[in-house]
């Protein structure tokens, strides 16, 4: 499939162009995206979403362009008008395998969970920026397209970004209760000045990615083995 050169407008009228083309031929699209790839703490979360044919919500867009309230509201609509699945990988996996490989693994988690639970396989899988190969699986015949800034070219990818963002934000809000000193509730684990300042003042927690924070000075970032909740 040739990449569509689509620029999402403010009302997102073009974001469904690809989906409508497929729906008119009674075909399905599965969108896949990730959230949390660049964070210093917390998991990476992916989502795979197959929107119901002809289900259109013009408020859908890249999750980075939405407020927390908008994400909650739109994700409720997506849940009711799609089939979807989530993939999650914790910081220890990221440290062991690197973020690129972990992103691929986590996207496959979401994809395989979704495809195993659906009666009808999608006719194409579209992914934001990450190439995936499903060889040696029962899904290797499904075409895969990977596009840079895919959330602005496919409503299915944008929907996946919203579900992943909603899921990860809720996880980080719960983690904030156990690790309040880092301000996770506000920055969700991203490398904000406040988060970096907190890391320089105290020991890193079990939810921090050791390979991401190793260059920060001023604190001991060796995580005691008995603190590792993810073994």
* Calpha distance 128→34 (Å, rounded): 8
Same domain membership, residue 61 and residue 137: yes
In a domain, 58, yes or no: yes
| Segment 67-107, tens digit of pLDDT | 999 999 999 999 999 999 999 999 999 999 999 999 999 99
Domain end, chosen from 135, 155, 174, is at 174
Distance, CA of 89 to CA of 66 (rounded, Å)? 24
pLDDT: which is higher, 110 or 13: 110
Out of 174, 200, 215, a domain closes at 174
In a domain, 6, yes or no: no
Q: Write a three-state SS string for 9-25.
A: CCCCCCCCHHHHHHHCC
Same domain, 59 and 150: yes
Query: Is 200 a member of any domain?
Result: yes
Same domain, 76 and 95: yes
Q: What is the domain range of residue 167?
A: 17-174
**127 and 72 share a domain?**
yes
Q: What is the mean pLDDT of residues 50-67?
A: 95
**How many domains, in total, are found in the chain?**
2
Give domain status of residue 131, yes or no: yes
Find the CATH number of the domain harbouring 150.
3.30.420.10
Across 102-118, average pLDDT: 97
Contact 157, 150 (CB under 8 A): yes
Per-residue pLDDT tens digits for 164-178: 999 999 999 999 999
Same domain for 190 and 132:
no
> Could you tell me the two tokens for 148?
């840079």
């Amino acid at each position: 499939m040739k990449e569509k050169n689509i620029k999402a407008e403010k009302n997102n009228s073009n974001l469904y162009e690809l989906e409508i083309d497929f729906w008119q031929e009674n075909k399905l699209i599965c969108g896949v995206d990730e959230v949390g790839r660049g964070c210093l703490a917390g998991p990476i979360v992916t989502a795979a979403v197959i929107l119901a044919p002809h289900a259109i919500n013009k408020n859908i867009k890249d999750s980075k362009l939405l407020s927390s309230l908008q994400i909650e509201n739109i994700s409720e609509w997506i849940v009711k008008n799609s089939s979807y699945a989530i993939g999650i990988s914790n910081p220890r996996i990221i440290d062991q395998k690197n973020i690129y490989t972990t992103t691929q693994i986590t996207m496959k988690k979401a994809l395989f969970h979704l495809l195993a639970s659906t009666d009808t396989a999608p006719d194409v899988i579209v992914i934001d920026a990450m190439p995936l190969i499903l060889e040696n699986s029962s899904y290797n015949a499904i075409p895969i397209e990977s596009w840079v800034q895919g959330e602005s070219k496919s409503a299915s990818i944008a929907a996946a970004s919203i579900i992943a963002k909603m899921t990860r934000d809720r996880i980080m809000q719960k983690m904030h209760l156990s690790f309040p000193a880092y301000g996770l509730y506000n920055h969700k684990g991203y490398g904000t000045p406040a988060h970096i300042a907190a890391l320089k003042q105290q020991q890193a927690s079990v939810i921090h990615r050791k390979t991401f924070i190793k260059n920060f000075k001023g604190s001991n970032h060796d995580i005691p083995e008995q603190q590792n909740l993810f073994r």
